[in-house]
Amino acid sequence: MENSLTSLDQVLALSPENAFEAFQSKHSVEKVIEAVRNEALSEVPDVETRKGRERIGSLARKVSESKTAVVKVIDNALVDAESQVKAVKATKKHVEEQFSGIRSAVLKPRDEWQAIQNEREEARQSEILSRIENIKRLGETQGHESLTELNDMAEALDMMTISQDDFAEFTGDALTAKEHAVKNINDAIVKCVEAETQRQALHEQAVTNSINEIRLTAMHALEENVQAVRARRETLVQLELDEVFYGERFKEAVSAKSDAIRQLDLLAEQKEALAGSAPQEDIIEAPLEMVEIPLKEYEHLLARDALLSALEAAGVDSWDGYDCASKIAA
């Protein structure tokens, strides 16, 4: 086709399909272009004359018309080619879709099986990770747990077995979670024991202070008059001792109270006797002689006095050796 195009008429006669094939190379139109060139340039019109100038314009228009005609043929060929390309592309797309559909149909059973396996694997891992989170929560404390509760938590963790069969590839994570949980609980137990020890020490000190204060009641009343001593005694009688507060030392508190009341009674009697033996106008209370002793020794003396009072209340003064012991003590 390329060698057969020698004139403009041959170009204009081409169908779009043939034109697309003919114009694959620019050399296919060289002879046509040469023919137009020869025809257009074969004349040499006289530019000095009007007719000559008009002839030049006529030849130029003819060349333009030839160009337009050839370009139109080429454009038509391109339009047809683009239409063919579009159709081919549509066919290509159809082929891709159909073959992809067939491939998907072939893979569908395997894909469905794989999806089920993925769900099972995800559920397996999720279940293991959930158990690991439970281990971590066993080691979490709020700060208000009792020592018994903390010991129960520690025992539950101690009884927990971490094995490869149960945790598979997450066994290391489970062991680490248990280790941290055990440490947290043990730390909490230490703090709880320390706090309980401190609380007990403070409570014991408070109990001791309270009992000592009861025991010292009579000493506080030494410089007071009879009415004040009686009032102090009445206040002590009305004092209710909390058995829960004193705990194991409740009997000691009761004994201290009884001793203090007895001592106040004796003090009041002494003060009344002194007041009755002197003329009313000459009553001058002589200051009691005071000595200083360590508090522990004073408490010891009070305790021994309380024991003696208890023995006397139990009838020890009727014992045959009581009088002998009294003479030895004197």
Sequence-ordered alpha helix ranges (H) in 139-160: 147-159
pLDDT at 306 over 70: no
pLDDT at 283: 45
Angle at 237 between CA 232 and CA 241, to 5 degrees: 120
* Confidence band for 327, pLDDT divided at 50, 70 and 90: low
User: Is the pLDDT at 69 greater than 80, yes or no?
Assistant: yes
| Alpha carbon distance 85, 291 (integer Å) | 127
Compute the C-alpha angle 59/61/65, nearest 5°. Answer: 115
* Whether pTM exceeds 0.85: no
Say yes or no to pLDDT of 251 above 70.
yes
Per-residue model confidence as pLDDT tens digits over 2-13? 457 878 888 888
Torsional class of 247: left (φ above 0), alpha (ψ -120 to 50), beta (otherwise): left
Q: Which two tokens stand for residue 197?
A: 């020890």
Over residues 232-243, the mean pLDDT reads 92
User: What pLDDT does 125 receive?
Assistant: 94
Kindly tell me if the per-residue pLDDT of 250 is higher than 90.
yes
Residues whose CB falls within 8 Å of the CB of residue 142, separated by 6 or more in sequence, listed in order:
none
5: tokens are: 């195009």
Tens digit of each residue's pLDDT (9 = 90 or more) over 76-134: 888 888 888 888 888 889 898 998 999 999 999 999 999 999 999 999 999 999 999 99
CA 34 to CA 309: how far, in whole Å?
Answer: 153
Q: Quick one: CA torsion of 128, 130, 131, 136, rounded to 10 degrees?
A: 130
Domain spans of the chain, in order of start: 8-112, 115-178, 294-330
Report the mean per-residue pLDDT for the chain: 84
Q: In which residue are the tokens 């230490």 written?
A: 190
Residue 43, classed as helix, strand or coil, is coil
